[in-house]
């Protein structure tokens, strides 16, 4: 065999998994049809968080009592900087793989048979094949020429009026950021609330703040058509149509299995996702599928984790996924995060009682810890500054079987946002 493992796709799951194998002296082939690092590094997590940081920095000072400021943003310059950050991360990951001996081939890869992958007309044999082909945005028939995540994150100007179709996490993150940067933002969501995939009390905090910022949220609304004639005209069922200079379509993502050759092997599917067992093996045992293409929440850290599990099994260890404390974060205002599951009981402490948040002029949100009758922590929902950082404490607690008393008795530095979690762990009885 030419390789121990051949990866189709170098996304979050792929390069992470490849690195684990390379560090353990395995021969690895990585096939990538576009850019090394996939959606997260090039067009998703990293560029979106860079934009959110810019918008939050500005809003933070604008909002601070006693501060007045004049500022301007040169989006072309900012885009150059953002690209340099992306290139530093993707280039670093690619160089590291190469330095550890990976062969990287650019081109569209497909599976020929259970031990052969083909790219650019060349066949390579591999003991194991890992499918990491990610996901693509859902497109609606008849609605063309709109912006998706790649286009909106590459914009060299700030739109005057931005209509966002879809109130899921990508749309809401982008809507918050562009509103803070000065756009007039409209969000059109078919369901009866924004962030329908998130716990209602967390989503409500974001809804409240968005309205305070002046974002127009239209729930229970269905877009009928989008026409472009210079400007966009967006027709909404039962409402007047709207004009906009930019329309972002963010109505979800679907797994990408196009042209991978999986149908030739009759690999079992779960709807549009590739079916995998707990080892991340497909129905053909030496072929693995990881990340967005393999079901579960479409998140980069879930893809990393899948990649780790697949690599461990290729290395001969019997490793099974355990998603019980998989955190989910939405980088909004307030930042919201969830991990684990609800329990028999919960304690909830408002952000208003957290001194560090008050020094940041942040008053909205809460820390909520779920636990069972015996006190063991089952999960948490947090709507507070930087909850993306503090939520890991609760994932660790769930993973380690800790109780609210363990959390409460852990001395937290003062003043910190994470003290809110400690306070929510205090027994009231």
- Say which residues have a Cβ less than 8 Å from residue 381's Cβ, sequence separation at least 6: 199, 201, 202, 336, 337, 338, 366, 368, 370
Angle at which helices 200-213 and 169-180 cross, to 10°:
30
How far is residue 226's CA from residue 234's CA, in Å, rounded to a whole number? 5
Stretch in the footprint of ligand FAD (CB under 6 A) among 59-67, 227-235, 277-285, 290-298 = 290-298
Residue ranges in 114-173 that form contacts with ligand FAD under rule CB under 6 A: 132-135, 149, 170
40 binds ligand FAD per the rule CB under 6 A:
yes
Stretch in the footprint of ligand FAD (CB under 6 A) among 81-89, 90-98, 285-293, 398-406 = 285-293
User: Nearer to ligand FAD by C-beta: 78 or 346?
Assistant: 78
Tell me if 206 sits within 8 A of 332, measured CB to CB. Answer: yes
In angstroms, how far is the first alpha carbon of the chain from the final one?
64
- Say which residues have a Cβ less than 8 Å from residue 9's Cβ, sequence separation at least 6: 31, 32, 33, 38, 109, 131, 132, 133, 134, 291, 293
Stretch in the footprint of ligand FAD (CB under 6 A) among 2-10, 215-223, 262-270, 334-342 = 2-10
Residue ranges in 308-337 that form contacts with ligand FAD under rule CB under 6 A: none
Tokens 């990538």 found at: 32
How far is residue 365's CA from residue 206's CA, in Å, rounded to a whole number? 9
Query: Minimum CB separation from ligand FAD for residue 106, in Å?
Result: 8
Query: Minimum CB separation from ligand FAD for residue 120, in Å?
Result: 11
How far is residue 124's CA from residue 112's CA, in Å, rounded to a whole number? 10
32 binds ligand FAD per the rule CB under 6 A:
yes
If one counts every other C-beta atom within 10 angstroms of the C-beta of residue 214, the result is 9
User: Is 279 known to be catalytic?
Assistant: no
Query: Minimum CB separation from ligand FAD for residue 102, in Å?
Result: 14
The site for ligand FAD, by CB under 6 A, has a size of 38
8 binds ligand FAD per the rule CB under 6 A:
yes
94 binds ligand FAD per the rule CB under 6 A:
no
Q: Which residues here bind ligand FAD, judged by CB under 6 A?
A: 8-14, 31-34, 38-40, 44-45, 48-49, 108-110, 132-135, 149, 170, 256, 259-260, 291-293, 298-301, 303
Catalytically active residues are 414
């Amino acid at each position: 065999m030419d390789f121990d493992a051949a990866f189709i796709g170098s996304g979050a799951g792929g390069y992470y998994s490849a690195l684990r194998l390379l560090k353990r002296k395995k021969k690895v082939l990585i096939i990538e049809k576009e850019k090394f690092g996939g959606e997260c590094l090039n067009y998703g997590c990293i560029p979106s968080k860079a934009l959110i940081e810019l918008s939050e920095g500005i809003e933070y000072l604008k909002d601070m009592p006693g501060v007045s400021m004049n500022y301007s943003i040169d989006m072309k310059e900012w885009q150059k900087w953002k690209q340099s950050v992306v290139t530093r991360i993707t280039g670093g990951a690619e160089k590291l793989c190469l330095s550890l001996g990976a062969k990287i081939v650019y081109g569209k890869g497909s599976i020929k048979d259970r031990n052969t992958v083909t790219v650019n007309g060349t066949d390579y044999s591999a003991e194991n094949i890992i499918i990491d082909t990610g996901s693509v945005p859902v497109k609606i028939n008849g609605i063309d020429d709109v912006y998706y995540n790649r286009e909106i994150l590459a914009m060299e100007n700030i739109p005057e009026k931005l209509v966002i179709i879809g109130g899921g996490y990508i749309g809401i993150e982008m809507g918050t950021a562009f509103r803070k940067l000065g756009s007039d933002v409209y969000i059109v969501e078919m369901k009866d609330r924004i962030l329908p995939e998130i716990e209602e009390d967390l989503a409500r905090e974001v809804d409240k703040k968005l309205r305070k910022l002046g974002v127009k949220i239209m729930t229970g609304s269905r877009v009928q058509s989008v026409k472009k004639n210079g400007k966009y005209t967006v027709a909404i069922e039962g409402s007047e149509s709207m004009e906009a200079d930019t329309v972002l379509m963010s109505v979800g993502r679907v797994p990408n299995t196009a042209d991978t050759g999986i149908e030739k092997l009759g690999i079992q599917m779960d709807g549009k996702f590739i079916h995998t067992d707990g080892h991340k093996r497909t129905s053909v045992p030496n072929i693995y599928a990881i990340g967005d293409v393999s079901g579960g929440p479409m998140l980069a850290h879930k893809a990393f984790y899948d990649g780790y599990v697949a690599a461990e099994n290729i290395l001969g260890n019997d490793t099974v996924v355990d998603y019980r404390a998989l955190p989910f974060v939405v980088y909004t205002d307030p930042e919201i995060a969830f991990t684990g599951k609800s329990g028999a009981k919960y304690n909830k402490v408002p952000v208003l009682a957290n001194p560090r948040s008050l020094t940041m002029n942040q008053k909205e949100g809460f820390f909520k810890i779920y636990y069972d009758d015996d006190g063991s922590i089952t999960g948490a929902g947090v709507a507070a500054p930087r909850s993306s950082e503090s939520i890991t404490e609760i994932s660790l607690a769930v993973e380690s079987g800790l109780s609210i008393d363990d959390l409460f008795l852990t001395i937290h530095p003062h003043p910190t946002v994470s003290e809110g979690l400690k306070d929510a762990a205090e027994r009231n009885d």
